[in-house]
Amino acid sequence: MKLRFEVSGEDFSLAGRASTELKRALGRLGIDPGAVRRAAVAMYEAEINMVIHAGGGVAEAEILPDRVVLVLADRGPGIPNLELAMREGWSTAADRFRELGFGAGMGLPNMKRNADELRVESSPGSGTTVTMTILLGKGAP
């Protein structure tokens, strides 16, 4: 099963909605709540990043019997220094997003903590694609 979400870069009030929908969908499939939460949190951080750093994009979730694969792709400015970006607390977020509760520099570290596998492909000018795998263990649907 595959879900696809358009993530708007214009309307911040919608940011996070795709992840909430993913959480509901995974919950309905009877997937273990721990795995559901990990997938939802990982996607949420990536979704927010797409909104605040890249002007929106597309999020896809492929739900397989043993894992969930999340792919979030944008056509934003890319990440020039990935090693720096992965550090806890490192952020280039604008102050207005900080006032909205984001930009703590914990997004990518949170994704790493929650996903079993995280791959970030990015080059300046051609956008960023974040791919995450969450293993469902034995409690597969």
Partner 1 sequence: MEILEARLYAGQDTLDLEVNAACGADLMSDVMAFVKEKVVLLTGLVNPQAIRTADLMDIKVIVFVRGKSPTEDLVAMAEENGMVLLGTKYSMFLACGRLYEAGLRGGGVREID
Ligand X SMILES: Nc1ncnc2c1ncn2[C@@H]1O[C@H](COP(=O)(O)OP(=O)(O)O)[C@@H](O)[C@H]1O
Judged by the rule CB under 8 A, the positions of this chain that interact with partner 1 are 13-17, 19-20, 23, 33, 37, 40-41, 44-45, 48, 98, 100-107, 109-110, 113
By CB under 6 A, tell whether 140 contacts ligand X: no
CB 138 within 8 A of CB 67: no
By CB under 6 A, tell whether 26 contacts ligand X: no
Nearer to Mg ion, 35 or 72 (CB): 72
Which partner in Mg ion, partner 1, ligand X, none is near 92 (CB below 5 to 8 A by kind)?
ligand X
User: Could you give the angle at the alpha carbon of 18 between the alpha carbons of 110 and 41, nearest 5°?
Assistant: 20
Stretch that binds ligand X, among 11-19, 35-43, 59-67, 84-92 (CB under 6 A): 84-92
**Cα(31)–Cα(128) distance, integer angstroms:** 29
φ, ψ of residue 92 to 5 degrees: the values are -110, 10
**Cα(51)–Cα(106) distance, integer angstroms:** 15
The first and second tokens of residue 113, run together, are 């903590």
Residues that bind ligand X (CB under 6 A): 45, 49-50, 53-54, 74, 76-79, 85, 90-93, 102-108, 128
